[in-house]
Structure 1
Amino acid sequence: MKTMSGPRDRRRATRRVLPALVAAVGLLLAACSSTDGTPTPAPSTSAAPEPFLTDVTSVAAMGDSITAGVNACGKQGACAAASWATGSDTSVMSLSSRIASLAGSAPAVYNEARPGIRAAQLGDQLDQVVKTAPGLVVILAGANDACRTSIGVVTGAQEFGESIGEVLDTISTELPDTHIFITSIPDLPQLVDLFADSDAAHAVWSDFAGCASLLQNATSTDKADVDRRAAIGQRIVQYNAQIEQRCQDQPRCTYDGGAVHAAQFSQQDISTVDYFHPSETGQGKLAEVAWQALLGAAEECAASGRTC
């Protein structure tokens, strides 16, 4: 975000992969020990202001079924406790849980994410988010814009960007002191490769009409099917470019630099309920990847001494 770093700086910051515990210790300790065990002040060059995350007392999540934790608990349906953004499951260690560890107290959480939501429908969640006036709004959306009944109705990149822009504009206008963290969209086509030899996955996908644009004829090597899947992958890349651009327009918005899109998942990370949504393990991976991006950006801003 502009008050945290420029586009080039943000991308550099979000590539930093530091264990959350080490980052927290580095930010919170004000002294170190000398060789004889006597505490001595830390050098001024290593002392940095705490990131704004230590001041976040409430977190609101917006998005679709991924953020709602759908099928993450091994059965059909939402599982809010396993949400990468606001869940309480200790095996997931959601963003809100990590903020609690960093700040020393748990933030209030509001998960407004709903299954099936596309970017143009995010406005339906805005009223409640504005009412709660959270310190941090977390957004992951776009999978349902790419996953449609056919490739002909997949959301256009510009249309997607305009919808995301409207949401970010509204949050920034109505809640000028609220921080926004918006992630890239996962690389959904990797699912096809991940379960290339899974008859169980293919059987489920054959009835998954809602994402036929990607999963129809998943085992087909016909050029038309290969090209269709590639087109979905490219459209997601275009969506992510729109997210980055629209986020840069807002003073308190942080983009993950493509970290979630770059994340590679294993079969264990995907729910066997539908072979599409993240499992509990996958939600944990999302949380870790997103946290490193968010924490890196927050640290960069804190070290600069700017108001974030």
Structure 2
Amino acid sequence: MRASTPRLKQRITVSTRTGVVLLTTAAVLSTAGCFGSSDDPSRNGPSKGGKSRAEGPVWNTRPSSIASLGDSVTRGFDACSVLSDCPQVSWSTGTDVNSLAQRLRSGARSWNYAKTGAVMADLPGQIEAAVARKPQLVTLMIGANDACRNSVTAMTPTDEFRSTFASALTRLRREVPKTQVYVASVPDLKRLWSEGRKNVLGRQIWKLGICPSMLKDSDAMDAASTERRQQVDERVDDYNQALKDVCGKDPLCRYDGAVHKYRFTERELSKWDWFHPSKAGQQRLAAMAYRRITSP
């Protein structure tokens, strides 16, 4: 027994040193994030009720009540008769078309607070009306009239557009924290000009003052007219970026760039002004919104 004592002490010393090294290494790896810790929500597993502790608000793909906000497009302007609203064919809450409300849930409660001619500055008032209803979903399409002014200098500044939208969304979230928001991008006004100008009657109607910053002198292709249309087009892009940025900071807000990208055909434009969506165009907008809202 005495002869083996030094060898036993040597093994104990080596084992102790190895344990110290392993503990030190583990501490370093844990600090570096190599091992899961209680602060890593992805490692915590499901909490009570089966939901992850890090899980945010859950998007409801089947809201049962809708409040629509925005401008003439959401009011169905010029879709049924000349120079008049036709909310029953609205892409959002219409009853005479396969609207978003109809697609989501037959008989869903809905309210249309959009107003023809509305600009971003009118959004706070529309939200004020909507929050009283406590809808599960708010749809918004606004911004075209901010660009459709008498001149490019009269267009709403992008910073003002952005700040007004951010303030309005903050107010909505404060009043109805669980309400979801669908934000449609501003349609491509330059594309609408390009498509609508093919119609002789449409060009005459435009002279009444529809979106003059883009549609005035619709046949003119001189440098000044081309530059004017380009400035409007760029401002619309800026508005859409602002909508996307602000909406992206809210977990219950979904921005949809598909509306701006969509190439409306002549059949999908109003036969009275060749600029606003026709009944077919309204249904196309409804389809895009439905796809975005019901996506996982």
Same fold (TM over 0.5): yes
Q: Tell me the TM-score normalized by structure 2.
A: 0.78
3-state SS of 1:65 partner: coil
Matches within 5 A, 1:48-63: 52-54=60-62, 56-63=63-70
The counterpart of 1:87, out of the listed 88, 94, 108, is 94
CA-to-aligned-CA distance 1:45-80 (integer Å, 9 cap, x gap):
xxxxx96123x2210000011001111113331111
Residues 169 and 250 of structure 1 are in contact (CA less than 8 Å); yes or no, is this contact kept in structure 2? Answer: no
CA–CA distance in 1 between the matches of 2:205 and 2:107? 39
Match of 2:81 among 64, 71, 74: 74
In structure 1, the residue matched to 2:136 is 135
The residue identity in structure 2 corresponding to 1:217 is D
CA separation of 1:119/1:178 partners in 2, compared to 1, >3 Å: closer, same or farther?
Answer: same
Cα deviation, 1:252-282, whole Å, max 9, x if unaligned, reads 11111x1100011011111122222111011
Give the aligned CA root-mean-square deviation in angstroms: 1.4
Calculate percent identity across the aligned residue pairs. Answer: 34
Give the total of aligned pairs: 239
Distance of 2:155 and 2:72 partners within structure 1: 18
* Contact 1:189–1:214 (Cα < 8 Å) also in 2: yes
Task: Give the residue type in structure 2 aligned to 1:96.
Answer: A
Higher Rg of the two aligned structures:
2
Question: For residue 248 of structure 1, what is the aligned residue in structure 2?
Answer: 248
Q: d(CA) in 1 for partners of 2:59 and 2:170?
A: 24
Q: Unpaired segments of 5 or more residues in structure 1?
A: 1-49, 300-308
Deviations 1:132-152 (A, max 9, x none): 000000000001001011111
The question of 1:225 aligning with 2:225 is answered yes
Given that 1:145 and 1:155 are in contact with CA atoms closer than 8 Å, whether structure 2 keeps it comes out as yes
Q: Secondary structure at the match of 1:221?
A: coil
Cα separation, 1, equivalents of 2:59 and 2:67: 19
Q: Contact (CA 8 Å) 1:74, 1:279: kept in 2 or not? A: no
Give the AA of the match of 1:53. T
TM-score (norm 1): 0.75
8 Å CA contact retained: 1:99, 1:106: no
The structure 2 residue matched to 1:99, chosen from 88, 97, 104, is 104
Question: What is the alpha-carbon distance in structure 2 between the residues aligned to residue 73 and residue 196 of structure 1?
Answer: 21
State the distance in 2 between where 1:156 and 1:127 align: 23
Give the structure 2 partner of residue 152 of structure 1. Answer: 153
Alpha-carbon distance between aligned partners in 2 of 1:51 and 1:132, rounded to the nearest angstrom: 19
Moved over 3 A (4+): none
